[in-house]
């Protein structure tokens, strides 16, 4: 019953948000230099809400605004196309994710060289932005076409290039997520005594995995189906949009007023003849309803299968034994590597203005080559410009390095608020056990699971009162005040708080289920005393881990929004291009999201313009993932004692030697007696 009420609340919140007056896409208004006089009126909002509820109550969403087709017909046709991709992607995710998770768990437990390569692949796939992987794939297809190899992924209707390859693209990140979950179960199972008995009976490792480890992974796979579906839909946004594959997510994106060519194919906006599409609330509701139905079917199927195998989620009542660290100073190499990488990037951002690089705004206008050849920007990578230049001839390496500190600032501010709010909600829910707060966290998390974070952020940012907040328009420029960035970061924080609080609540509930917590409660300890004595270590480690995880997630989210021309601090300038006045995006901040937004349109002709911000963004997320891995290792280990034998293969040698000499030591002791 609670679950039904929770999803009803989620549906009501989505309807209230969808019915909010959006108007037309604000960007063409910039192109036509229309002064945005926008005032929110409750009467207009209530009219939209009444119209949407009337359509829902009568079971008909009416006609769409553009083509005049029935909304249900559009949603059904789009839903069938996306369902094929989701089904194939889910199959690839389960097969590859389970196989990789078992491999990482077994090989990582016994040691070896290949697990490091497997972990590196996982860190890379989780760190690259979705749109960059798709753009690289498109550039590969352009390269093959140039060499007379007929391969095209954009708008392809062939099965392998139009269905299989997009399904693989959307399943990469979900497969890595599932592999991480399965790996944790495998490592936990390999420490159980019944597996030691199985090995003692002479069973091979393959049979032990097939008979014991793999069946115990099934509940984790079923519990991960719903978040995996969420990740698949998040990746569908970019795949359907950039590869021009019509589906329910691209339909939802276009119904929000974004119909048209992707940024990399669209020319700069002229001051006239701009065609734009209005916001279609019934069509948006139909798309969200279709996504919700997929979530509901996946959730219901997973629960039925879990009930069929008689699985019931339970917490381990025993405290996990802290293993002795194999590192001399008790700090794993993952934490050292991630920390040094982040510190190096901060140092580069601090000393960027003193490096022997051109200033970030200096334009390299013209180059003279051999045989009196003349070239104009953008210039490719060379000894003068290591990462090339943009269309205005500005050095991309210099602009990327000068954008390190602004980008980190824009990430740290919302992440700090996310972690603080999630911690407060988790403590009130788990330690003080206020149930309605727990239901609030679950509802919040469910809301951001139904709609992909990118679409939810765009749905809010495209509200005219939000988009135009703090705007300043003059005859030749349009810019926003600093208050706009705080509104932007607050929206990102609100979207991510629910997911972060839910993750922290689960960790604290697992810690609260331990037997020593029950003993502390019987002893009469208050909630505050239990927090200070027992919960403190787990809470600090979870906060640090959550801070690193959310930093990477927020960085990827704002970079994707920048690709859709929604950076943190936008600004526009009226310039003359071929004697025609056009509005050109000109960032007022050098953060990486602004660089992505500024250069996305030039990527098809000059791929290097996005190399700088994307490479540094990927390195940052990889470093954060290394920190998360190191924090998890630290939470499960204690520093090695002085004089204690080293762990790993050295420990195995010492253990075997001590086992051989043990009888002689016992004989000497008996003879002494």
Higher pLDDT, 372 or 269: 372
Judge whether 472 and 481 are in contact, CB under 8 Å.
yes
pLDDT at 311: 59
For residue 269, tell me if it sits in a domain.
no
Is the pLDDT assigned to residue 344 strictly greater than 90? yes
SS3 631: helix
pLDDT score at 653: 40
Q: How many whole angstroms from its chain centre is CA 360?
A: 29
Tell me how many domains the chain contains.
1
pLDDT at 120: 77
Q: At what angle are helices 536-563 and 483-512 packed, to 10 degrees?
A: 140
Task: Please state, in angstroms and rounded to a whole number, the distance separating the CA atoms of residues 12 and 158.
Answer: 40
Q: What is the pLDDT of residue 319?
A: 47
Residue 591 has pLDDT above 60, yes or no: yes
Cα 508 to Cα 35, 302, 425, 538, 628, distances in angstroms: 51, 25, 11, 8, 17
pLDDT of 303 reads 72
Report residue 450 as tokens: 């139904």
Sign of CA dihedral 9, 10, 12, 16: positive
Residue 649 neighbours by CB under 8 Å, 6+ apart? 111
Terminal-residue alpha carbon distance, the chain: 71
Cβ proximity of 538 and 508 under 8 Å: yes
**pLDDT at residue 21, as a whole number:** 73
Residue 637 backbone zone (phi > 0: left; psi -120 to 50: alpha; other: beta): beta
Residue 390: what pLDDT?
87
* Cα–Cα dist 362/631, whole Å: 42
Percent of the chain topping pLDDT 70 = 81
Is the pLDDT assigned to residue 19 strictly greater than 50? yes
Q: Residue 655: which H helix or E strand, with range?
A: helix 649-672
Quick: pLDDT tens for 532-554. Answer: 777 777 788 889 999 999 999 99
Percentage of the residues of the chain whose pLDDT score is greater than 90:
12
Q: Is residue 245 part of a domain?
A: no
Domain that holds residue 664: 646-673
Residue 268 CB partners (closer than 8 Å, separation 6+): 577, 582, 583, 584, 601
pLDDT tens profile 407-461 = 999 999 999 999 999 999 988 888 788 888 888 888 888 888 777 888 888 888 8
Three-class SS of 155-181: CCCCHHHHHHHHHHHHHHHHHHHHHHH
Structure tokens at 363: 């334009």
What is residue 312's predicted lDDT score, i.e. its pLDDT? Answer: 56
Q: What is the pTM for the complete model shown? A: 0.83
Q: Give the C-alpha separation, 359 to 348, whole Å.
A: 14
Asked, for residue 667, whether it belongs to a domain, the answer is yes
CA distance 376 to 365: 6
User: pLDDT class for 146, splitting at 50, 70, 90?
Assistant: confident
> Does residue 650 belong to any structural domain of this protein?
yes
Tell me: the pLDDT tens digits for 254-303? 787 765 544 444 444 444 433 445 777 888 888 888 877 877 777 777 77
Residue 415 and residue 35: Cα distance in Å, rounded? Answer: 34
Q: What is the pLDDT of residue 662?
A: 40
- Which of the residue ranges 148-157, 162-171, 240-249 would you say has the lowest mean pLDDT? 148-157
Query: Is residue 606 in some structural domain?
Result: no
317-333 pLDDT tens trace: 444 555 555 555 567 88
| 228, 93 Cβ separation under 8 angstroms | yes
Mean residue pLDDT of the chain comes to: 77
Predicted confidence (pLDDT) per residue in 36-55, tens digit:
545 567 777 788 788 878 87
**What letter would DSSP give residue 384?**
S
CB 114: neighbour CB atoms within 10 A? 11
Is 523 in a helix, a strand, or coil?
coil
Burial of 656 (0-12, 13-18, 19+ CB in 10 A): exposed
Angle between helices 592-599 and 404-426 (to 10 degrees): 120
pLDDT at 512 exceeding the cut of 60: yes
Q: Quick check: 364 and 389 in contact, CB under 8 A?
A: yes
Which three-class secondary structure string do you get for 339-381?
HHHHHHHHHHHHCHHHCCCCCCCCECCCEECHHHCEECCCCCC
pLDDT of residue 654: 39
Residue 232 placed within a domain: no
Strands (DSSP E) contained in 414-532 are 471-473, 477-480
What is the b/e burial string over 476-496, where b = at least 16 CB atoms within 10 angstroms of the residue's CB? eebbbeeebbebbbebbbbbb
Euclidean distance between CA atoms 623 and 637, whole angstroms: 21
Whether 662 is in a domain gets the answer yes
Over residues 182-238, the pLDDT tens digits come to 887 887 777 677 777 777 777 777 787 777 777 777 777 777 877 888 888 888 888
E strands, 503-602, are 571-577, 580-585
301 inside domain: no
**Least confident window among 9-23, 107-121, 122-136, 640-654:** 640-654
Six token digits for residue 507: 């960790």
- Show Cβ contacts of residue 483 under 8 Å, excluding neighbours closer than 6 positions: 469, 470
Q: In whole angstroms, give the CA distance from residue 317 to residue 315.
A: 6
What does the block give as tokens for 637?
A: 């280990």
- Residue 274: which residues within 8 A CB-CB, separation 6 or more? 28, 31, 32
Q: What is the DSSP letter of 463?
A: S
Cα angle value 225/230/233 (rounded, 5°)? 125
């Amino acid at each position: 019953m609670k679950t039904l009420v929770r999803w009803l609340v989620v549906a009501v919140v989505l309807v209230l948000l969808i019915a909010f007056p959006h108007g037309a896409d604000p960007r063409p208004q910039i192109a036509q230099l229309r002064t945005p006089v926008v005032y929110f009126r409750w009467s207009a909002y209530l009219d939209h809400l009444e119209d949407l509820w009337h359509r829902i109550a009568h079971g008909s969403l009416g006609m769409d605004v553009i083509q005049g087709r029935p909304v249900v017909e559009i949603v059904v046709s789009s839903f069938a196309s996306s369902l094929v991709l989701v089904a194939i992607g889910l199959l690839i995710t389960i097969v590859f994710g389970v196989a990789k998770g078992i491999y990482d768990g077994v090989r990582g437990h016994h040691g070896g060289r290949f697990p490091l390569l497997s972990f590196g692949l996982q860190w890379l796939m989780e760190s690259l932005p979705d749109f960059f992987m798709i753009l690289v794939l498109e550039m590969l297809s352009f390269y093959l076409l140039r060499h007379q190899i007929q391969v095209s992924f954009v708008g392809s209707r062939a099965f392998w290039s139009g269905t299989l390859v997009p399904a693989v693209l959307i399943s990469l990140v979900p497969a890595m997520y599932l592999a991480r979950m399965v790996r944790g179960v495998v490592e936990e199972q390999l420490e159980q005594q019944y597996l030691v008995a199985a090995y003692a009976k002479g069973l091979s490792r393959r049979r032990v995995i097939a008979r014991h480890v793999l069946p115990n992974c099934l509940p984790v796979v079923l519990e991960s189906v719903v978040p995996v579906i969420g990740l698949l839909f998040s990746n569908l946004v970019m795949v359907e949009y950039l590869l021009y594959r019509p589906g329910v997510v691209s339909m939802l994106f276009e119904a929000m007023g974004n119909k048209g060519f992707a940024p990399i194919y669209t020319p700069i906006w002229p001051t006239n003849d701009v065609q734009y599409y209005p916001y279609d609330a019934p069509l948006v509701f139909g798309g969200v309803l279709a996504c919700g139905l997929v979530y509901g079917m996946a959730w219901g199927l997973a629960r039925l299968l879990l009930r069929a195998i008689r699985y019931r989620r339970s917490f381990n009542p025993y405290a996990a034994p802290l293993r002795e660290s194999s590192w001399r100073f008790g700090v794993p190499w993952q934490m050292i590597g991630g920390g040094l990488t982040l510190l190096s990037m901060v140092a580069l951002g601090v000393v960027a203005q003193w490096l022997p690089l051109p200033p970030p705004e200096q334009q390299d206008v013209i180059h003279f080559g051999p045989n009196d050849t003349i070239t104009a920007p953008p210039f490719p990578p060379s000894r003068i410009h290591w990462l090339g230049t943009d269309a205005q001839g500005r050095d991309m390496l210099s602009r990327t390095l000068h954008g390190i500190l602004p980008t980190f600032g824009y990430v740290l501010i919302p992440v700090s608020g996310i972690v603080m709010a999630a911690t407060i909600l988790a403590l009130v829910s788990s330690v003080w056990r206020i149930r309605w707060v727990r239901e609030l966290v679950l509802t919040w998390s469910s809301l951001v699971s139904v709609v992909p974070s990118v679409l939810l952020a765009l749905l809010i940012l495209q509200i005219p009162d939000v988009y135009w907040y703090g705007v300043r328009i003059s005859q030749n420029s349009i810019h926003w005040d600093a208050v706009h960035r705080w509104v932007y970061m607050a929206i990102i924080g609100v979207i991510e708080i629910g997911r972060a609080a839910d993750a922290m609540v689960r960790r604290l509930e697992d810690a609260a289920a331990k037997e020593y917590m029950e003993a502390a409660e019987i002893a009469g300890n208050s909630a505050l005393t239990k927090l200070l004595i027992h919960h403190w270590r787990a809470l600090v480690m979870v906060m640090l881990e959550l801070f690193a995880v959310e930093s990477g997630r927020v960085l990827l989210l704002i970079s994707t929004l920048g690709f859709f021309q929604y950076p943190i601090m936008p600004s526009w300038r009226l310039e003359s291009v071929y004697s025609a006045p056009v509005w050109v995006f000109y960032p007022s901040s050098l953060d990486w999201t602004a660089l992505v937004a500024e250069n996305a349109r030039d990527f098809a002709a000059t791929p290097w313009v996005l190399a700088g911000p994307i490479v540094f963004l990927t390195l940052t997320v990889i470093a954060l993932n290394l920190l998360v891995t190191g924090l998890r290792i630290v939470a499960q280990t204690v520093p090695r004692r002085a004089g204690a034998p080293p762990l790993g293969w050295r420990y195995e040698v010492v253990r075997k030697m001590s086992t051989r000499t043990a009888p002689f030591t016992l004989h000497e002791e008996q003879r002494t007696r």
